[in-house]
Each structure stands twice: as C-alpha cells, then as structure tokens.
Amino acid sequence: MRLIAIDTATERCSAALWVDGELYSLSERAPQRHGDLILGQVETLLAEAGIDRHSLDAVAVGRGPGAFTGVRLGLGVAQGLAFALDFPVVPVSSLQVLAQQGLRLAPEPAPAAVLAALDARMGEVYWSLCPVAGERVLPAPEAVAPPEAVAAQWPAGERLGLGTGFRAFPELAGQCGLADERVDPDALPDAFDLALLAVDAWERGEAVDPADAQPVYLRDDVARPAASP
C-alpha cells in the first residue's frame, strides 16, 4: 500500500507518505502559505522514498472541518492528483486526525476518549469526542457549538483534550474537568496521523472516487454565498 496524505485544513500545512508500512512526513505551521508549500512537500517526500506519483495507490486528505479556504485547497489538490493519476481519494475528518495525534502523544494513563476542539470563530468550536480502540481513535459525530455545549456532553472517564478550541476558550478545559497536563491548546491536525487513519480507512474500503470527495464545513453559512441585498 502506497498512499500520500495532505492536510491544509488549519494553520499547519503537512504531507505524509505511507510506503508499505514506512511513514515519511513534513509539516510546517505556515498560515496563508499552504498553496505555495503543499505540492513541494509531496514531491520532497516522494523523492525521499525513491518513488514517483504513478506508484501511489491513493491520496488521503483532511476533509475538514477547519478554515474554509484551507479545507477547499486540500480537497482541490487531492482531487487533482487523483484525477491525473487515476486513483481514489480517502477523506478523513480533520477532528479525528487531531484526536489521533493526541492519542499518539498522550501521557500515561492512556485516555478512553480524546476531545478534539478547533476554534471555529464566532464564539464556537468545531468538536468531536473520539473513542479510543487500541492504538487508534474511532470516527465520532462532529458538531459546531459554543464551548459550554461541549462541556455539557462530556462523559466520565480518563480523558484528553487538544486543539485550538482550548486556546480560544481557556475555560473549556476546566468545564470539562481536564487538568493542564491533559490539554494541548496549540495542537493542530497533521498529515502524519492522517496517513495512519487513512490506511485503516483504505483497508475498510472507504476510499471514494475523486468526484465524490466532499469537504465538511459543519457551519453551512460559511460555504454559501451571501444573499443579495
């Protein structure tokens, strides 16, 4: 299995390459420079692994939620590669990708669930509470809501939280009963974790035709043009 993964849904621009169990990755926190960086990252990883685009089986992409422009860019690049090289796309939730990073880097004890929360502006967060199964987080419902609504749905158990939602709303950690060492407010999705989840998704048969790969914004009015006055 050979898969390239790209994520441009947030301030971080990242790419990863899975080659038969070996993982290469590049990541840079580069607001508003994703379009200049992402294809270069892909080419650098392919060169490092000593393979070319035509030997890939699929492209994975962080399909949102996140910044509207970044999500749209990532899907566009993924679809362009997939159409040009005639292979499928594996879309993965950017919140699940963020939660997987939390699990991968989690201090002991291992969490039973990971709360991924990204700043959605307008007094809200994009969030998902992903259950843990072994070394992976599982897909979970996603929502956009005020931080107090997130805390109201927070269950008992060993927990971990990460993402810029905790930076935008410092009170969220306390409302969720999380100690400082169980929160990373600066974490952003990374293609390293996207690749791990995408390989599993590929094996479950979740790859789609490039035309069927769709972004997830959660907040509908972000994706709609403004009404005429």
Every domain of the chain and the residues it spans: 2-93+189-223, 94-184
Does the structure show a pLDDT above 60 at 24?
yes
In three state form, how does the secondary structure of 27-92 look?
EEECCCCHHHHHHHHHHHHHHHHCCCHHHCCEEEEECCCCCHHHHHHHHHHHHHHHHHHCCCEEEE
Residue range 169-191: mean pLDDT, rounded: 92
Is there a common fold for 2-93+189-223 and 94-184? yes
Residue 120 has what DSSP assignment? -
Does the structure show a pLDDT above 90 at 228?
no
pTM: 0.93
- CA 68, chain centre distance (Å): 13
109 band by pLDDT with thresholds 50, 70 and 90: confident
Residue range 82-95: mean pLDDT, rounded: 97
Query: Domain 94-184's class?
Result: alpha beta
- Residue 158 is predicted with a pLDDT of 73
Helices assigned H by DSSP within the chain:
34-49, 68-85, 94-104, 147-152, 164-168, 171-175, 191-203, 220-223
- Residue 52 is predicted with a pLDDT of 94
Does the structure show a pLDDT above 60 at 224?
no
> What is the distance between the alpha carbons of residues 101 and 95, in angstroms, rounded to a whole number?
10
What is the homologous superfamily of the domain 2-93+189-223 according to CATH? ATPase, nucleotide binding domain (3.30.420.40)
List Cβ neighbours of 88 (8 Å cut-off, separation of 6 or more).
58, 59, 82, 207, 208, 209, 210
Total Cβ atoms within 10 A of residue 6: 27
Residue range 124-135: mean pLDDT, rounded: 95
Percent of the chain with pLDDT over 90: 83
Tokens of residue 229, six digits: 């006055």
Residue range 103-118: mean pLDDT, rounded: 91
